[in-house]
Structure 1
């Protein structure tokens, strides 16, 4: 969606929940974009220092992702990618130190 686009993106209408097919298309586009980011070893797509690499290597996937997903979802998915990466890195470090995972009763894990 460009700056002067006359029509909003289909998923940007907050008065209507996204349809299942729209969500599926968004997730597929997100997965394709993230696969490209993995290929060029970029974790944080919001990091301004990575913009050049992303534009030169993943512009097609990023454009599709931005076209198929609501603006709020795009930001959320990019931020979640960084959080998930840090959590995985932390968990691997703890496993290497032979740390034991403790489940706390009453907590719901998402």
Structure 2
């Protein structure tokens, strides 16, 4: 094996996978701590740049792309759920205040 970034091989032994996953988790945690929902191509917080470099060195490029795609999908899903919950809460508050009740 020529390493995670060489030769295109996506095979990592158990220890290399652990290093990859630890680097991934550290980078995404840093992004979240700095208020950024990571998306491929989006700016990376300056304090997270070294963690991103470590992540890219520890993991095969195909894994980095996969993890980035998962992270982006998770952020999109979270935003959608938050918006849905807020709309439901606003609707419920209006109903409780009598705004949406029909006279009968």
For Structure 1 versus Structure 2, the TM-score category normalised by the shorter chain is 0.5 to 0.7
For structure 2, the residue ranges without an aligned partner over 5 or more in a row are: 90-104
3-state DSSP of counterpart to 1:26 = helix
Give the corresponding residue for 1:19: 13
State TM-score, norm by structure 2: 0.67
- Please, which runs of 5 or more residues in structure 1 have no aligned partner? 1-6, 100-110
Q: Distance in 1 between matches of 2:26 and 2:3?
A: 19
1:74 paired to 2:54: no
Instruction: Work out whether 1:34 is the aligned partner of 2:28.
Output: yes
Q: Which deviates more, 34-43 or 24-33?
A: 34-43
CA contact (8 A) 1:45 1:78 kept: yes
- Aligned counterpart, 2:79: 89
Bigger Cα displacement from structure 2, 37-46 vs 70-79: 37-46
Give the conservation status (yes or no) of the 8 Å contact 1:44–1:79.
Answer: no
State yes or no: 1:46 paired with 2:36. no
- Aligned residues between the structures: 87
Moved over 4 A (4+): none
Whole-Å separation in 2 of the counterparts to 1:58 and 1:92: 26
State how far apart, in whole Å, the 2-side matches of 1:38 and 1:26 are: 18
Query: 1:8: how far off?
Result: 4.4
Q: CA RMSD in A?
A: 2.5
1:33 offset after TM fit, Å? 0.4
